[in-house]
Structure 1
């Protein structure tokens, strides 16, 4: 098989890029090691910047998003008996949209056949070859047979544990990583949210987050140590702890129900530089991970593919390589700003095992300052809605 662009990974990054390239008349094939059902089973974030919703609108795939997406114009930072509402609409003139990543992925997957986007699911043993040449290729096994896909470029959208970043020779790049000493225990339940907007809570017991996927489905998180056993957290214990950490007002609006999904996600900050080697480009989680505190993971992937789609279109339509050469620096400039914001919110709202009483007082002093400062709230709002491309 031959194509212009081979994409590894059929998550949101790969699917968004695939659709953008198809719309530009560029031949593209996506190779995915998992089944379509497995891809849709992943429970991920659901706060979309306009960067992401603009792509869906540009592709004409935002019909369901417009109907089911929840427009949010603010969110809350709570601590002790206080709550700070960050009015992002008033402070920035913008908003975010709550729409589950699974639903966005479903929209992109469902539209692929009619848009001519070829996705090869259940492709095992994917390997990259000749990535430093003008004819890189993929080999893999599918349906019991060996296969090869030749292309002009390979785009790695295969996540943190994927094969693409590992195909870059040692010494040709550098990783920056911070692993946090805790994770998020998440519970998904078919119950209405406790509040119309997200609540990020700083509590002596640890961080908590009240969020939602729709008006009838809620997603909650509590901070837990990295070595936590999920079996030690039955549903009742999770709901009890959420009620404590989120505070009495949120607890009064909370509806309890059985978990339809429950898991523990580790937290890390990670960046790989550069996001290109030869004719292999990295996008999304293959190149960077952010703590979910700032809701930046999916949105950073969307900005990556926005840059890439434009650069690849320039190359195939006009023979221009300048934008491709600039891609790593353009993408990383936005990545590092988002890494900073996600780190800032994580440090502000979580309990770190080594924190002293002094550190806790500094957290509260910072929150007190944010509560009284429009400038501080504006800085948070600008980062939350997404910095300009």
Structure 2
């Protein structure tokens, strides 16, 4: 079954607001109808609808289900369209004015299927009201013209307000969706840190800034040691958890907001340290290595070996090497040396000169 168009928070607020506005419209209609009947009898259909809307409002205020409340709202409005339309003069009365709001609300608050169903039912009700009206089978509206004008004013104003609410809710929901899409485009789905594309975009900006300012910039390439072995022993689900834990350690250790951290691919991560010389980069790299080892993530239950990382570091203050591809190339070379030297260590590739 298709889902509602709006997100849950916007949907709950919109159901509450539409329910409240229609409750006020029905209240106004009940008062006008009561005066039209000479205050001798109560307009029971309107009172019943008023009580339903009131009950729905109470239900929503107690954090009731938006699905149920929206269903009650749309169903009540659909029945009210025919009953109130019939009792208030058909197309000579104010009720048909609000009819477009019912399928619109059904589309947004329920689902596409419910919206199309509501569209057909409302169209059928309007056709029936028109047929009855043309056949002179609808009772005349007993309200004075002034009172009828007031109710029409309320109905038109209500239509404008609800249209505004619907448009506002839709725009707000659309903005949230765009924000989520933007976030997912720059975030690694598994670890929650920046993905390679996001790091690359920021990396280019930082290297350009370093060249302009003549400042240091350092790159750390980090690889989880023997990760294939970890996956073979524990399975890919545990492997994913391992990567999440490593990423979380890196995120907590790379504390400066200006520095960049991302998942470069597979079990490899990248850290870009802004305005950091070789000594500073070595300190950060050693902290990262030690913090990961301190997590004591075992390769195998009952065995002493724990997950570690190897880190390659390269720092540059030379504009000739302060390019993303060059920095990563040298940091990768240092990482290769760290792994060749036995893993679980930091190796710095020194800048030439």
The one of the two structures with greater contact order (alpha-carbon pairs below 8 A, sep at least 6) is 1
Higher alpha-carbon Rg: 2
Specify which structure has the higher proportion of helix: 2
Category of TM-score, reference length = shorter chain? under 0.3
TM-score where L is the length of structure 2: 0.22
Specify which structure has the higher proportion of strand: 1
TM-score where L is the length of structure 1: 0.20
